[in-house]
Amino acid sequence: MADQKSVLDAESGKEDLGANVAQYENAPITEAEKALRWKQDKRIVPLSAGIYFLCYLDRSNIGNAKIMNASTGDDLMTQTGMTNFQYTISLMIFLVAYGLFEVPSNILLKKLRPSRWIAFLMFSWGALTMGLGGVHSYASVTVVRFLLGVFEAGLFPGLVYYLTFWYKTEERSIRVAFILASATLAGAFGGAIAYGIGHMNRAGGLSAWRWLFILEGIPSCLSALLVWFLLPDYPEDAKWLTTKERDLAVQRLHVEGSKGQDKAMSWEDAKATLVDWRLWGHYIVYFGISTPFSSLSLFTPSITAGLGYTDLRAQLMTVPPYAVAYVIQILASWSADHFNARGLHSAALATIGAIGFLASAALPPDAYASRYGCLIVAASGAFACIPPLLGWLSSNIFSTASVGLAIALNIGLGGAPGQIVGVWIYKADEAGRGYPTGHWTNAALLFMVAVGCVGLRVYYGWRNRGILGAGGGSGEVRVFKY
């Protein structure tokens, strides 16, 4: 695998790719590159963020449907006859599918072209979301949620992989942040949308939660057509770039980006990626961050309902935590890229999130205002930790095939199991006690993330000292990013 080969060659004192890589990576960006990057940003980032916004909205709206108009018996739980245990199973089954289909989806994204594959996924999950508006039993909810997981599985790892075809390593975290931050934006808008749709209860003979699924699934289906035609695939064949711009786009990613014309993944690539133990360190860290991400995504309406807010008011109070997290996510990711310190930024943010959960667990259950403030702190730290982690992983894998597999494994083997844990820790019978199990679990896992990030940062520093020493100080070697 190119990842392993480049490092081994460096440690033997050989030149990496026959070029002065360190000088290339540290060269100041030219005005032509800035103009090209801005042109790419205008085409790629808003569209990618919009896609993930719709994905997250369709994934997490079941949390709003659970409590919507519960006081009148017009909520999802009452009308489908589901118990809290069955509801949790329906959340978990989505994540089982989500974990199983990450890797196949990233392989198909490269084989079938990003625009075609992502458009297909969008239309499919949009149609399934609308289908949730017609369910009448626990069984039907579970089946549709499983299928929803199948088609949503490939989107986020696919988008992170997709960015490696267009951007250098130090440019990715902030762009991943804009995409991932659309999830926090969707969380904020989701609460506001649910508040509005909640007033449509029994309109046309349908309960409001059914309208919620139907109305939020339609935009994904319609937007799939736009993605099919507007999402660019690779710089090599981008007709909206001039010939000079295409050449520059390819040249500047010669060392550290994925290539649209590279061969598909071989068994040798897969084997080398699977046995690279340092990547498993990243997967373990991502497991730790995925549990708070999942639990907040699905249970924030329930958590706010446990803070003294009821019915539609509880939906509305989910907006501020997500809105603050959105701003923190963008600022922290810019800083992580700017200072080339993704590991330490992730460690600091995980610690902040852990403190928020820890304080929320320790405070008395009726300290509503204080615990609501802790929820905002916890959400900000937990959500903002993720983009630098993903940028850090992708910047330390150096072949097209391997980066796609590693990103998918990171989210499939680390993220999906972590999210499955997240669906179990906020127990309905603990609402009156302030959900202590959920808060303590998330605090512990975020502290684990912080320790893991510091450990990986120390390890990469140690490896780089050995690599540069073996290279004789010439600078003609590739080093790990921090």
pLDDT digits (tens, 9 = 90+) for 211-220: 999 999 999 9
pLDDT confidence bin for 471, thresholds 50/70/90: low
Query: Quick one: pLDDT at residue 17?
Result: 31
- Asked if residue 147 has pLDDT above 90, the reply is yes
pLDDT confidence bin for 23, thresholds 50/70/90: very low
Tokens of 437: 């199990």
Residue partners of 413: CB distance under 8 A and separation at least 6: 99, 283
Residues in the chain: 482
- Asked if residue 1 has pLDDT above 50, the reply is no
Query: Quick one: pLDDT at residue 161?
Result: 86
Average pLDDT over residues 206-232: 94
Q: Determine the Cα–Cα distance for residues 405 and 133; give it in Å rounded to an integer.
A: 35
Return the domain boundaries, the chain.
33-234+245-257+265-470
pTM: 0.77
Burial of 88 (0-12, 13-18, 19+ CB in 10 A): middle
Which residue, chain included where needed, has tokens 């639990």?
295
**Residues 384 and 349 sit within 8 Å (Cβ to Cβ):** yes
* pLDDT tens, residue by residue, 294-303: 898 878 877 8
Query: Quick one: pLDDT at residue 98?
Result: 86
Tokens of 182: 């659309």
Q: Determine the Cα–Cα distance for residues 361 and 443; give it in Å rounded to an integer.
A: 9
Residue partners of 389: CB distance under 8 A and separation at least 6: 282, 285, 286, 289, 342, 346, 453
In one-letter notation, the amino acid at residue 456 is L
- Asked if residue 458 has pLDDT above 60, the reply is yes
Query: Quick one: pLDDT at residue 7?
Result: 39
Fold exhibited by the domain 33-234+245-257+265-470 = Growth Hormone; Chain: A; (1.20.1250)
pLDDT confidence bin for 257, thresholds 50/70/90: low
* Helix, strand, coil percentages for the chain (3-state, nearest 5): 80, 0, 20
Residue partners of 93: CB distance under 8 A and separation at least 6: 142, 145, 146, 149
Tokens of 301: 């309406």
Nearest C-alpha neighbor of 398 from the set 316, 279, 317:
279
Q: Determine the Cα–Cα distance for residues 304 and 321; give it in Å rounded to an integer.
A: 10
Other beta carbons within 10 angstroms of residue 25's beta carbon come to: 16
* pLDDT tens, residue by residue, 282-322: 999 999 999 998 898 878 877 887 777 766 677 778 888 88
* pLDDT tens, residue by residue, 28-69: 678 899 999 999 999 999 999 999 999 989 988 898 898 888
Largest CA distance in the chain: 76
